[in-house]
Chains A and B, each alone.
Chain A
């Protein structure tokens, strides 16, 4: 086979590979680039903006690399050779200056975005905010709806276009609560309470997971995050309220045992103030679960992180 055919063959192979890659990516959900809520959307736009700005440096670096490597190769007869050239003030000012300007712009953007996209910040909306409490356990997620008086495992449903304030803690090692299509993650830590404010634009079923290693069953901590219309949500709440399994203390103790790949399950009337009791379990001396009043613990946890 002569050289021409070899090159053509390699080119065809690479082209075919790239084509199948494009086809594949077209049919797969790239969650972070395919946002379904305002937070994830702003985070994606920020990512693309920063990427575009970086190209101002990347493109010159790549082109100069190849141009210089080719032009000043040893065998080239045309290129100039200046062995003692070891600096140029103007040139150096340019490459201290331009990156500084780019990073300056990015810094302002990053500072503002840190504030506007602060996970603790409530999302402005015509609809009233709803609170869902989240407890990471070995190895599943427990969701408690304090107003609706229901609880679920590895499944969370909420009305669309409604700001959701997730209050997050852990009754297990540290995990990280992440629903990529709705917004970035936040750690769930024992004895500490974090908040994540999210909103979903429309109806949909999004994948959530734990992003931080928490032991053997960590890979199985996927959950479904489902947004529906307010009416369907209300209907769903009513159906869960009919659930015969109640989240009593003994039921919670059972849940507290390590288990893996738990299918969704639904509970009516969870223990009152369960979330704060779990939080307090780690804040006082060992074994003091439920001895302090919830209002106290709320102040403590709120004051702790903020």
Chain B
């Protein structure tokens, strides 16, 4: 009898559902929100619409919107985590031990890091790439549209697994990279680390597939005349980032598999004893982890290149240099991973080598900064919100970069490693570089996708909240690090005098939260007042690249007539030369677009079941998940009739309507 139960329930018991008042409270509120949404969909009878328009869509623009929506919801989830961490560290001093247990605190920072990197930063990145890349290269779609939908749903499955750990069982308490032997069965016997492994595993496979997809898209689907050296800089940086995805993510997949084998099968790849080597894991995870940082930042660099050129009304300065810099960064990013553990005790030669490589990577990055600056030189700068984010980025990113160069010197790193100085450094890079970049990108391309601009005033308020909040939240952490405060402590002695700084950091985090609230308000107000901010021209910012030449919102096929380019800033050239392409009467043809398919949803759904079963060791569910996965992949691959035709007459109708609106708005 008990064997049957074990096959059905695995390691699950009723006590897995209760993990103390705070966790359970969070879990209950999350479940209520999900039920509320489901109820709302039934009430408004929107299921069919949701299924047809969104769940089965293969349109990269819609997939991009869904990526960004999920990422913003996760930003709020992991942001609440951050507030709890700050509240604990501001109050847990001396005789007070704060409101969180050590274990809860450790689960929270592990979840915060994991979610912020994998489901916020990666989500925003893939979202923007989906929205922009096909439009910028003058293509109608990505190379493998159905695979693209699958990537998104795998990403979602990973997101669900991470959040499910809040409701059933608990999450990993071993930090966002789960170093062994702490993450091994001996020291983390619960399901937490398994949740972490399978969440990243399934999301990581989605990322790898997306990486392949966009590499092929950029290499093979550019419109006529767009040689590589005429590509918009955003596409170049995406190409660099996707190359890194292709080379780095398999390392993550392999490493996580080995760790799971240790935990599930009793192998000894990374155990402390039995011939395992814990530092092998640390090397492998950073061989993925360091390129991952550049995977996130490169597309943000691309956003800056577009934003600064557009709003300075000027060509991008030093295009060739920018391209070389991207590829220098791509290559170098695989030769610096050891700087994450100079303190391992490797010899001076090894540390010296990786220290130098680390500093060398600052050169191409510095070059990019100067090129952006000189794009502003002799421009006519229009200070829209994306430009505010850009200036905020320049200042914060330079400070973070200096902190990075300091830590690139091994003996200096011995003093700063694992301290709050390090925490402040990478938050400076990721908030100031990555997050600011994607916020700027969202504001910039929003009208192209939705047909109206975001409210500028609220956007500026949000920006100021973020910048002020960021400064108050992280400058104290730099100082605390120099005082010897290590990361991840849930308690410290009152004699150290650290509390005032932790309190200021907590205030800073709250101001950032206010910024996020302002952004939610910005979206809401902009949607309500969309009539006021309609973009009827398709070119709300006086843009330079191809995407601004089509209507806003862009039609499902992006371009009624595939464009042909001869300039790096083709749309700018068209506008200023009164190019023939703008004035000729167009001759429309049938357009073939991929049909919607639920297969991505099915593959990710069965994948989710399989991962969930592997977390809880539920044998029967695992079989169901695995078989379902295999059959849905086979079905997915053998589907023939995947395209639909939009007849030329229909295209003409859509285009004439858009032209009419443009003329009479």
CA A44 – CA B419 in complex, angstroms? Answer: 15
Contact, CB under 8 Å: B484 / A43: no
Judged by a CB distance under 8 angstroms, whether A207 is at the interface is: yes
CA A7 – CA B499 in complex, angstroms? Answer: 30
CA A29 – CA B481 in complex, angstroms? Answer: 12
Judged by a CB distance under 8 angstroms, whether A5 is at the interface is: no
Chain A hits for B224, CB < 8 A: none
A85-B314 contact, Cβ under 8 Å, with A32-B415, A91-B374: yes
Q: Mark A211-241, 1 if CB is under 8 A from B, else 0.
A: 1111111111010000000000000000000
Contact, CB under 8 Å: B493 / A184: no
CB distance from A100 to the nearest CB of B (A): 6
Contact, CB under 8 Å: A106 / B411: no
CA A120 – CA B410 in complex, angstroms? Answer: 13
Chain A hits for B373, CB < 8 A: 61, 64-65, 68
**Stretch of A123-131, A170-178, A245-253 at the chain-chain interface:** A170-178
Judged by a CB distance under 8 angstroms, whether A99 is at the interface is: yes
Judged by a CB distance under 8 angstroms, whether A295 is at the interface is: no
Judged by a CB distance under 8 angstroms, whether B417 is at the interface is: yes
Contact, CB under 8 Å: B351 / A58: no
Contact, CB under 8 Å: B182 / A103: no
Closest residue of A by beta carbon distance from B572: A83
Chain B hits for A219, CB < 8 A: 102, 488-492
Contact, CB under 8 Å: B381 / A72: yes
CA A99 – CA B365 in complex, angstroms? Answer: 10
Judged by a CB distance under 8 angstroms, whether B283 is at the interface is: no
Chain B hits for A181, CB < 8 A: 484
Judged by a CB distance under 8 angstroms, whether B514 is at the interface is: no
Give the interface residue-count category, chain A: 35 or more
Q: Which residues of B (334-350) have their CB < 8 Å from a CB of A?
A: 341, 343-349
Contact, CB under 8 Å: B484 / A95: no
CA A77 – CA B621 in complex, angstroms? Answer: 70
Chain A hits for B367, CB < 8 A: 92, 95-96, 99
Chain A hits for B382, CB < 8 A: 74
Contact, CB under 8 Å: A87 / B318: yes
**Stretch of A109-117, A152-160, A268-276 at the chain-chain interface:** A109-117
Name the residue among B273, B355, B412 with the largest chain A CB count within 10 angstroms.
B412
CA A178 – CA B349 in complex, angstroms? Answer: 22
Give the interface residue-count category, chain B: 35 or more
Contact, CB under 8 Å: A113 / B409: yes
Judged by a CB distance under 8 angstroms, whether B91 is at the interface is: no
CA A91 – CA B175 in complex, angstroms? Answer: 44
Contact, CB under 8 Å: B381 / A69: yes
Name the residue among B179, B346, B379, B405 with the largest chain A CB count within 10 angstroms.
B379
Q: Which residues of A (259-306) have their CB < 8 Å from a CB of B?
A: 281-283, 285-286, 305-306
Contact, CB under 8 Å: A113 / B316: no
Of the candidates B315, B418, B484, B496, which one forms a contact with A212 in the assembled complex, judged by CB atoms under 8 Å apart? B418
Q: Which residues of A (177-191) have their CB < 8 Å from a CB of B?
A: 178, 180-181, 183-187, 189-191
Of the candidates A74, A79, A111, A286, which one forms a contact with B383 in the assembled complex, judged by CB atoms under 8 Å apart? A74
Contact, CB under 8 Å: A92 / B500: no
27 example contacts (A-B, Cβ-Cβ < 8 A) are as follows A32-B415, A32-B483, A32-B484, A40-B415, A54-B406, A57-B366, A61-B370, A73-B383, A74-B381, A83-B379, A92-B321, A95-B367, A99-B367, A103-B359, A107-B355, A110-B352, A110-B359, A114-B351, A120-B345, A180-B415, A185-B417, A211-B419, A213-B175, A216-B106, A219-B488, A219-B491, A283-B273
Known contacts A61-B369, A103-B405; 4 additional CB pairs below 8 A are A40-B415, A44-B415, A85-B377, A103-B359
The 9 closest A-B pairs by CB, nearest first: A184-B414, A86-B315, A117-B411, A194-B345, A114-B352, A190-B272, A173-B182, A31-B484, A211-B418
A residues lining the B interface (CB < 8 Å) = 24-25, 27-33, 40, 42-44, 46-47, 50-51, 54, 57-58, 61-62, 64-65, 68-69, 72-74, 79-88, 91-92, 95-96, 99-100, 103, 106-107, 109-111, 113-115, 117-121, 173-174, 176, 178, 180-181, 183-187, 189-192, 194-195, 207, 209-220, 222, 281-283, 285-286, 305-306
